Each structure stands twice: as C-alpha cells, then as structure tokens.
Amino acid sequence: MRRSHTISIQIEYPYEATYRFLSQPRNYGEWAAVDKASYKPVGNGDWQADTPFGKRHFRFTPPNTFGVLDHAVFVPGEPLLYTPMRVMPNQDGTELTFTFYQRPGMSEAEFTSAVEWITTDFLTLKSLLEARRT
C-alpha cells in the first residue's frame, strides 16, 4: 500500500456555500498553488495551469449531493490518480478532509513537501472563505 496523509481543516463558513464554491472548477485558481493567469479550461472538462511543479491538468468530480470533491492533478499521458476530498457540515461551519497518497517514484522528501503545499493551499482556502463572512 502507498503511504498516505490526511489533512483535516475546519472552515467557519456554511457547508452549502463552501461546497458550492469548491464544486466549481473555475474557483480552484483562487486558492490552489497554480498560476491564476494560466488557469483555464481545455475543452474536454479538464483544466490546466502552470504550477510550482510544472504544467498540470486538473480533472474534477461532477457536482453531487454528497460533498464529494475528488479531483486529479496530472500530466497528460500519465495515469490519473484521484485524491479523495470531502466537505461535511460541522454545526454552522464545514469540515474539509483531503487524503494525499504518495505517488509512484516520489521520495519521502517530495511527499513531505507535497503535503506542506497542500496544507498551505487549504489554509489559503480557509482564509478566503472565512473572509466572506464579514
């Protein structure tokens, strides 16, 4: 089995509004580590952008009623590896969980760095959404 790390973050923003924001692929560029100016749809439902790790494509789970926000970040032509992401109501706010799996050929240092990048992305998301409450 591959090594995994689950990130859980509480967001003081209503669940329905959080899910609505996150289920729209166009909003990914607002909080994720992508070059916002390069983030664009590519016509088949995927999106692409420049990232600190090079050009990547993004594929998102369609909107649903279960809070499932799984998505894949990938290089075209390489296998897709979806990452589980969920939002759940937590009283007046939202609990977000995301599990990152160590990719084939990824060193321990690269794995740790990726988890740090992702955590930073989610702290950015938390700040962005909580600022909307005021």
Per-position pLDDT tens, the chain of length 134: 889 999 999 999 999 999 999 999 999 999 998 999 999 999 889 999 998 888 999 999 999 999 999 999 999 998 888 899 999 999 999 999 999 999 889 999 999 999 999 999 999 999 999 999 86
Neighbour order of strands in the sheet with 4-11: 4-11, 93-101, 85-90
Domain boundaries, the chain: 4-131
pTM, 2 dp: 0.91
Q: Using alpha carbons only, give the angle 56, 62, 68 rounded to the nearest 5 degrees.
A: 95
The CATH number of domain 4-131 is 3.30.530.20? yes
